[in-house]
Structure 1
Amino acid sequence: MPNNPFDSFHDMVAEAKAEREQLDRLLTISTPRERLLVAAIGLLLAVLVGWLFLGSVPRTVTLNAVLVEGEKTVQALARVESDVAQHIEAGMPAVIELGAAPGTQIRFNGTVAAIAVEPSWSDGLSATAHRVDVSFDADPGTAAKVGAFCWITMELGRQPPIALFGTGRS
């Protein structure tokens, strides 16, 4: 509205009315480019939600282990809690990583030989500790020394990504 005190009241009202009629042109809520951006973001969110429920991701577990003398060869022995142990079965493939020298790791393929409750590790909670024995598929030779620490990695299966939000840990 004009601030000129010498304009008549009727002129000021007419000008204000003309401004209100132009309000739809002056205040554009969104341009076509902005609508396209909102539609693209909506489509991206819809694809993400679809993937969360219909997609699949591998569930792997890596266990700290120690090499022990087995029946015929060296085996890797690990401790695992019961929530993970219920997904591990004898015969599952596993990858055993040995730390040979600083910065280098040697990988061997292996197979889960056995899984059993281990009461000596449980400290009174026998249902929470399980022993996992993993045998090497090939002879590791001199790289595997009894008592050396290693890591066992196993794929426990596939699951939808939305399941990752409810597990707390994997």
Structure 2
Amino acid sequence: MDVQEVLKYIDELIMAKTGKQLDTLQLALLKGVLNGQKYKDIAEEYNCTPGHAKDEAYELWRILSKTLGEDVNRANVRAIIERIVIKNSQNLQFPNSFNINFCSNSTPISKTYTPEELELVGGDNTKNSPTKNQEDIIKNTRRKAKLETVPHLAQMGLTASQIAQALDLPLAEVQELMS
């Protein structure tokens, strides 16, 4: 599970509990903290003051504490989320392995593919180990899906920078698609 999936999962939990979703800055703060960023750096990326980012973070920790039933803060948010996600996902079906990858630009320890992806490329569902060519097809399919998502996110009002960060795509490529 990568950081985007974790953010979506947490946002859905909050929506179910409060009827509200996290705003863009709150999602950025959560992602940034999970990736080890400082409030100051997150504030710069989202064109707000560090003080405003800290205020929003305080509100985020309050919302998470209420939703998760634990005292959540910057220091313990990662451990709590890991525990909650793993605990609540025991009823879900995951391909062969499960790991939370908070570093979206790094390669996961073990590559796993969904049975649907393996079926798409004619891979063996039982081994979850496609050939290099099949792996390339899966990567290209995932990339194509991301690129097709860009216009939809732009219509929702996200900036090129936010879209690039959310989809883990180069900013220049997103800007080109939006022009």
Say yes or no: TM over 0.5: no
Between Structure 1 and Structure 2, the one with more strand by share is 1
Larger RCO (CA under 8 A, 6+ residues apart): 1
Normalization by structure 2: what TM-score? 0.17
